Structure 1
Amino acid sequence: MTATTRAARTRRRGRIRAAITIVAIVVVVVAAGFLAYAASVMMAEEEPLAHAEEVVAVTETAEGVVLTPPDPGDEGLVFFAGARVDPAAYADKLSGVAASGITVVIARPTLNFAIFETRPLTTWEGLAPGVQRWAVGGHSLGGVKACMYAADHADELTGLVLFGSYCSVDLSASGLAVLSVAGENDGLSTPEKIADAAPLLPADAVFTTIPGASHAQFGDYGIQPGDGPQEADDTDVRDAITDAVTSFLG
């Protein structure tokens, strides 16, 4: 091997090492940026959370937020929060459901994104061991994940509840009872998008729309970029959710 060839190979190896270093740096920067983004959670508003605590027992754990009814029945709902939303932000909107006797467990998902969740449903069911019958549900991206759990556990669940969300998996032949609640002013999971995805659900799925409600009004965490106007009163939204879910699961 000539000196020229050795020099060329050295330069080539140097370029390869430099390229690998650059790729590694980019991966680290992107990962760090995503982790920072995932950690920037939209927190629960204090006043609605305080109201929920007046209605039902609210217990926060590392796995999630449990809403325990004053007189619990044997029915429960595991509910997945939207992306980067504090699970406690759904406590008030689901407090009426819990007050009816349905225990609600709002999951605290991996990296604050339910779509990354790999733990079994029993992770959250174990937070309410007295419950014998479980439904699963979620808001926005949490609803997408709930659909995935429903696809794997349709025979074990009493139903699927979607708030401002729609499925990416086909449940049309699952035989599962499904409730889909849309917000009229939802700028993210619009009523049109929900209608377009309806063929993925069983033919007898129940659809309802809350007049004037936005995407973020399914919880209590403030304004969400890209959303529509919040023209509905939050109390009316909570009542509509309570009526729809208790009628569906009752």
Structure 2
Amino acid sequence: MKRLIKRILLSIVILCICGFIGFFVWTQQTYEPTKELLKSVGEIDQDGDWVTFKPNRTDKEVGIVLYPGAKVEPEAYSYLGKSLSGAGYTVGIPKFNLNLAMLESNKAEEWIKRNPTIKKWFIGGHSLGGVSAATFAHKNPKLIKGVILLASYPASGDNFSNKGTPILSIYAEKDGLTTRDKIEETKNLLSRDTVLFEIKGGNHAQFGMYGEQKGDNQADISAKEQQDLIADEMIKWLDKQ
């Protein structure tokens, strides 16, 4: 009997180890920035495990933390980061352990502490990165001025409906992952000060520039066109806050 119990326990340990190895390998199969992005952006600045974009002008003193989607490398959002910094905003895009924002939802604290001259902070994210960004904002209402959801939504435990937190939610018509139905289902979690904007012809993967993504639909517009629409809406919204 003791021998049988030992065999069962050993089998469970082996299964757990195999499961962890499989999960680790899966998290390392990341979505890399496209050649089009790298050509458009040029040199990308790094500060430790942060991709950074700092504006030439410093009058705004406003910072944005942008969490990548699951398994998407932070450089894939460089076109958006550069567009925002060109409008005067300081942008930090982190690389997460195991490439999953949900494992380090408080990562924004690092960037905020490194930039003490910034007077006002916003946080946003793409897909599951947006879910984690909303979690951080919900826990830190005095620190975060507003939330930007890119093909994303708050988790059920992060209900903003009774809060005045400014939220910008941008979603895409052809998104095969964060569908319009999902956006509708989670509207009740958004604050009374929420702006929703749909990108006609856009899809999920083109909230970054990392190529096609499994489960997504084909977009009717180019990645660059979608990125420009996202940046324009974000800048217009940020300038009003």
Q: TM-score, normalised by structure 2?
A: 0.93
Task: Please tell me the residue identity of whatever aligns with 1:74.
Answer: E
Unaligned runs of 5+ in 2: none
Evaluate the alpha carbon distance shift between residue 102 and residue 191 of structure 1 in structure 2; reply closer, same or farther with a 3 A threshold: same
* Residues 178-202 of structure 1, C-alpha deviations (whole Å, 9 max, x = no match): 0000011000001221121011011
Report the Cα distance in structure 1 between the residues aligned to 2:98 and 2:233, rounded to whole angstroms.
30
- Corresponding residue for residue 109 of structure 1: 96
Larger radius of gyration: 1
Residues 68 and 104 of structure 1 are in contact (CA less than 8 Å); yes or no, is this contact kept in structure 2?
yes
Q: Which residue of 14, 20, 28 corresponds with 2:9? A: 20
Query: Is 1:70 aligned with 2:56?
Result: yes
Q: Which residue of 157, 162, 184 corresponds with 2:149? A: 162
Superposition pairs for residues 21-100 of structure 1, below 5 Å? 21-53=10-42, 58-72=44-58, 73-100=60-87
Q: Which residue of 124, 144, 149 corresponds with 1:137? A: 124
Shift of 1:230: 1.8
* Residues 51-87 of structure 1, C-alpha deviations (whole Å, 9 max, x = no match): 223xxx7312332210112223301110100000000
Q: Which residue of 211, 218, 229 corresponds with 1:222? A: 211
Q: Which residue of 118, 122, 138 corresponds with 1:151? A: 138
* Residues 152-175 of structure 1, C-alpha deviations (whole Å, 9 max, x = no match): 012221210010011112111121
Identity among equivalent pairs (%): 31
Q: Determine helix, strand or coil for the equivalent of 2:142.
A: helix
Shift of 1:94: 3.2
- Corresponding residue for residue 125 of structure 1: 112
Evaluate the alpha carbon distance shift between residue 87 and residue 127 of structure 1 in structure 2; reply closer, same or farther with a 3 A threshold: farther
Task: Please tell me the residue identity of whatever aligns with 2:191.
Answer: P
Q: Which residue of 176, 197, 201 corresponds with 1:212? A: 201
Shift of 1:127: 4.4
Q: TM-score, normalised by structure 1?
A: 0.90
Report the Cα distance in structure 2 between the residues aligned to 1:58 and 1:126, rounded to whole angstroms.
21
Task: Please tell me the residue identity of whatever aligns with 2:104.
Answer: E
* Residues 133-161 of structure 1, C-alpha deviations (whole Å, 9 max, x = no match): 11000000000001100110122212100
Unaligned runs of 5+ in 1: 1-11
Residues 105 and 125 of structure 1 are in contact (CA less than 8 Å); yes or no, is this contact kept in structure 2?
no
Query: Is 1:243 aligned with 2:229?
Result: no
Equivalent pairs counted in the alignment come to 236
